[in-house]
Structures are given as C-alpha cells and as structure tokens.
Amino acid sequence: METLNGIWHSLLGLGNAASAQAASLDTTHLIALAAALGSASGVRLYAVVFVCGMAGALGWIPLPAGLHILQHPAMLAASGFMLFVEFFADKIPIVDSLWDIVHSVIRVPAGAALAAGVFGADSATMAAAAGLLGGALAATSFATKASTRAAVNTSPEPFSNIAVSLSEDGMVLGALWLAIHHPIAFGITLVITLALSARLLVVLIKYLLAVVRRWLGGDGLTAAPAQ
C-alpha cells in the first residue's frame, strides 16, 4: 500500500510540475505549439485533439482560450473514439491509405484551425498567421505521411505498416511534448524535418510513379512497334 501511495504521489508531482511549467508559456512556446498542432494534425489529427484536450482538462497545460473547446467532455468523447478507430485503421494495409484519402479534406483545415486557435482569442493577426503556418505544415506532413504509407503498401507483408504507424504515433506525441517544454529545440527539429520531408516526397513520388507504370504496363504501351 505504501508503494502504491508513493507512486500516486509521484504522478501527482509530475502533473503539478507540468502545470507549473505550462503556466509560464510565453510567445515562443505558443508559436511552437501552433506549429506542432499544425504539423502533427497532418499525421494524427484525432490524437492531437484528444491529447491536447485531455492535458487541458487535467490541468497539465493551460490551453489558450481558442482551444478550450478541446477539453469539453463531448469533444473528448468524440476525439477519443475517433482516436481509437484511427489507431487500428492506420495499421492495416490498404485500409490505412483509404483512411488517408477520406481524411485528405479534413486534416489540413483542421490543422490550420487548431494553430489559429492558439492565438484566436488574443490577436486576429497572429491567429491568421498561425492558421496559414498550421495549414501549410499540416499539408506537408499529410503529403509525406500519405505518400509513405502508399509506398509501404506496395509490400505484401503487414508488419512494415504497423512499425511505420507506431513510429508516427511516437513522433506526434514527441512533437507536442517538445513544443511545450523545449520550443527552440522543436523549431530546429521542425526545420530539419521539413527539409527531409521535401527530399523524401520527391523520392516517394518517383517510386510510386514507377510502380504505377509497371502495373499499367507503361513501358509496353509507350514503346514503338517494330518495323
């Protein structure tokens, strides 16, 4: 019993420490949070909404006024349910790409809205700028994720899908944590990630085009008949 009490008090101490640190968020932290919400939404929208809302509801992070809706019980229930569905759908070959297609019209505007919400109640100008940043980052991360999963689905085994999906789960949670606790480090990491994503997109698009040409018999269709 004493051990359990010790663990409980340790968890409470961690929660209180997180609350104290989050309460001192300055402009740098808010900009990093907006960028993290945008980029992470392109990969795991429902995880972003649920984790941020739950952190706000538990008092770990004093969410900006524009994001208070995330900690409403109805929003937590909806985002939690969708997170549960997405967690499994994203790990099934082909289903993951179909899930991405369905959410191609949701993740980018949602990422822009979440980023804008960081400043929405304080400054219309900053909210607009954050919305543009969040939308652009969400589009970039979504394009990279969708292209990566499409390339992974060319492999018949399911284990690579699970491994990549779990890696994405970890990266999203890591990005949110880093933006809150170490915004400068997050900014550097984000710049590096964007550069790598741009290069990866070029490689993946070339690969997928080559796969499509093989499936369609492109080489045979374009070759001139022998005389």
Give the pLDDT of residue 157: 77
Written as six digits, the tokens of 176 are 């949110």
Per-residue pLDDT, averaged over 86-106, amounts to 92
> Worst-scoring range by mean pLDDT, 77-86, 143-152, 199-208?
199-208
What is the value of pTM for the model shown? 0.78
Q: Assess contact for 66 and 218: CB atoms under 8 A.
A: no
Q: What is the pLDDT of residue 17?
A: 41
d(CA 208, CA 217): 14
Task: Give pLDDT tens digits for 161-199.
Answer: 899 999 999 999 999 999 999 999 999 999 999 999 888
Q: Residue 186 has what pLDDT?
A: 95
- State the residue for tokens 């290069």: 199
**Would you kindly state where each structural domain of the chain is located, as residue ranges?**
24-210
Instruction: Kindly report the average pLDDT of the chain as a whole number.
Output: 83
Q: Compute the radius of gyration of the chain from its Cα atoms.
A: 21
pLDDT of amino acid 182: 93
Min mean pLDDT across 32-36, 92-96, 149-153 is at 149-153
